[in-house]
Structure 1
Amino acid sequence: MNNYVVGMGEALWDVLPEGKKIGGAPANFAYHVSQFGLPSCVVSAVGEDALGKEIVDNFTSKGLNQLIAEVPYPTGTVQVEIDQAGVPQYEIKENVAWDNIPYTAHLESLAEKTRAVCFGSLAQRNVVSRNTINRFLDAMPQNDDTLVVFDVNLRQGFYNKEILCNSMKRCNILKINDEELVTVSRMFGYPGIDLQDKCWILLGKYNLKMLILTCGINGSYVFTPGNVSFQPTPKVEVADTVGAGDSFTAAFISSILKGKSVAEAHSLAVQTSAFVCTRKGAMPILPEELTTA
């Protein structure tokens, strides 16, 4: 098939006080895309160790297509400590498997059949994976129908202006949250204007098809040239927010690929991420009324 939707980047374990959970935005994104009935694939790397085998087995059990290399580095882990105020503190281990995703003939073949890809800034902290992501983007079909989504994820200082700037030039859809937008604006030297004005500047400067801005409980926006869609955040009983943003992106991109309008896609994305917030973990099974909407 020539229409894969790919999530590319980190695959890891979040090591929490109560135990470990599989983490990584690319797998969350690819899994939810598959629930919307589109062929998806997660691209990453794991170590030649028990933790890596467990990730691969978990994805296999979910029926998730994967192109996950085994490399001579440890499988990625994130140490999560909860402080006295209940706020999590993250320590993302460095020089791990997903920092070293190799560019292979299989990966190039997948790129040539890819209709949409989602990648972030975290997976580009190491030159090996950064080069692989860029080569994958180069090998994808270069036409107006191809969607290249850059989902900004600023973590622990694992980013710089050059990586962000290059990624924004490479993408045609930018997804960013309000806190990240403030950081990016400061880094790029934009004046103290409001968030919406900053979004219009980025949309024009990088010639984007769309810019998605999420603002937590304050709703979300989708900017397209000359238009803006706003959706309030539904009030739900939150179990946890892990993976909610990835499910939003997956629902939105799946809807656009199915030919829905920006407003329809935005509405479904908000409903999907709200549902994910009501369940523990990043990969709950979505209700049929969402996946067939």
Structure 2
Amino acid sequence: MPKVVGIGEILWDVLPEGKQLGGAPANFAYHVSRAGTDAAIVSAVGNDTLGDETFSLLAEKRMDCKYVKRVGFPTGQVNVTLDADGVPQYDICEGVAWDNIPFSDDVLCLASECDAVCFGTLAQRNDVSRDSICRFLDATPGQCMKILDVNLRQDYYSEKVLVESLKRADVLKLNEEELPIVARLADVTSKGEAAICRSIMEKFALSIVILTCGAKYSLALTSDGQISRMNTPHVKVADTVGAGDAFTAAFAAAILKGCNLKEAHAKAVETSAYICTCHGAMPEYGGFCRE
């Protein structure tokens, strides 16, 4: 069974109907675990009630949380508001636990056994977590699939962090709002979505680039010239929180299981659409079948 890791922020999304556990790497780990992988979260929480609730909920969801460390900072929170289409806007608290993820011997051992890891730019806003993420990536074996889900939020990113992350990645996943920002920071001047993705791929020697365009469509491109374009299914949206993370997780799990590009893309599209019909980033799958 593939060993897959989400490293970075774990936090509580405070939604209009109440709080839900989230954070892109934690969401990724949850969804990839439901796709039949051995998934783990590398992050940090505080010595507080929200930290206790984090461990309790992760245990309830049968998640490996031994790499989620207690640190002397409060557990992260994000205030989430939804627009008329269910699309979230985020107010992210600073100086929190996931800004201070420690790099320990057991985390180093995990890195050495990792088949795939997903990371982003948000958790690299602070030097401590950025150092831990970079050390983890550098300790993975050569065949490990390193997935950069850029997850640009507010002003918590920079050209340096983005470029260094792209240099360490094999797979890039981004959305239509992030594409022009990434292109500008990466000094890519191509025109058209597919051409920009291809130029970024070539510049940073990536194997796959995935572009999601919300309710319209998504693209997946490979370094050997393959391209897959799929329309987004029309569903009754509860909210879109975690849908992009579910997309990345389903795609990664499918690739690890030997699926081709179009098969992996189809699984990602189907899973993401289902998550849009649910509330929160880590809903139960119920009757939905991932296999």
| Superposition deviation, residue 16 in structure 1 | 3.0
2:177 is paired with a residue whose SS is helix
Report whether the alignment pairs 1:172 with 2:170: yes
CA distances 1:54-78 after superposition (whole Å, capped 9, x unpaired): 0111001110012100000011111
Report whether the alignment pairs 1:233 with 2:252: no
| Superposition deviation, residue 288 in structure 1 | 6.0
2:78 is matched with: 78
Distance in 1 (CA, whole Å) between partners of 2:274 and 2:253 is: 17
Residues 1:33 and 1:84: Cα distance change in structure 2 (over 3 Å): closer
1:208 is paired with a residue whose SS is coil
Structure 2 counterparts to residues 1-293 of structure 1, below 5 A: 3-66=2-65, 67-81=67-81, 89-142=89-142, 145-191=143-189, 193-225=191-223, 226-286=225-285, 290-292=289-291
2:115 is paired with a residue whose SS is strand
Residues 1:282 and 1:197: Cα distance change in structure 2 (over 3 Å): same
| Superposition deviation, residue 79 in structure 1 | 2.3
Residues 1:229 and 1:128: Cα distance change in structure 2 (over 3 Å): same
2:179 is paired with a residue whose SS is helix
2:289 is paired with a residue whose SS is helix
Q: Note the residue ranges of structure 1 that are not aligned, 5 or more in a row.
A: none
- Structure 1 contact 8–118 (Cα < 8 Å) conserved: yes
Distance in 2 (CA, whole Å) between partners of 1:131 and 1:231 is: 37
CA distances 1:78-130 after superposition (whole Å, capped 9, x unpaired): 12356899875432111110000000001001111110000010010000000
Residues 1:196 and 1:77: Cα distance change in structure 2 (over 3 Å): same
| Superposition deviation, residue 189 in structure 1 | 3.7
- Structure 2 contact 86–238 (Cα < 8 Å) conserved: no
Distance in 2 (CA, whole Å) between partners of 1:158 and 1:137 is: 20
CA distances 1:185-240 after superposition (whole Å, capped 9, x unpaired): 23334336111111110111111110001111221011112121111101111111
| Superposition deviation, residue 290 in structure 1 | 3.2
- Structure 1 contact 29–247 (Cα < 8 Å) conserved: yes
Distance in 1 (CA, whole Å) between partners of 2:57 and 2:115 is: 25
1:290 is paired with a residue whose SS is coil
Residues 1:138 and 1:82: Cα distance change in structure 2 (over 3 Å): closer
Distance in 2 (CA, whole Å) between partners of 1:60 and 1:270 is: 28
| Superposition deviation, residue 20 in structure 1 | 1.7
Distance in 2 (CA, whole Å) between partners of 1:140 and 1:83 is: 40
Distance in 2 (CA, whole Å) between partners of 1:83 and 1:234 is: 20
Q: Among the aligned pairs, what percent are the same residue?
A: 51
Greater relative contact order, per chain length (Cα 8 Å cut-off, separation 6+): 2
- Structure 1 contact 268–290 (Cα < 8 Å) conserved: no
- Structure 1 contact 6–116 (Cα < 8 Å) conserved: yes
What RMSD, in angstroms, separates the aligned Cα atoms of the two structures?
Answer: 1.9
1:155 is paired with a residue whose SS is coil
Residues 1:47 and 1:235: Cα distance change in structure 2 (over 3 Å): same
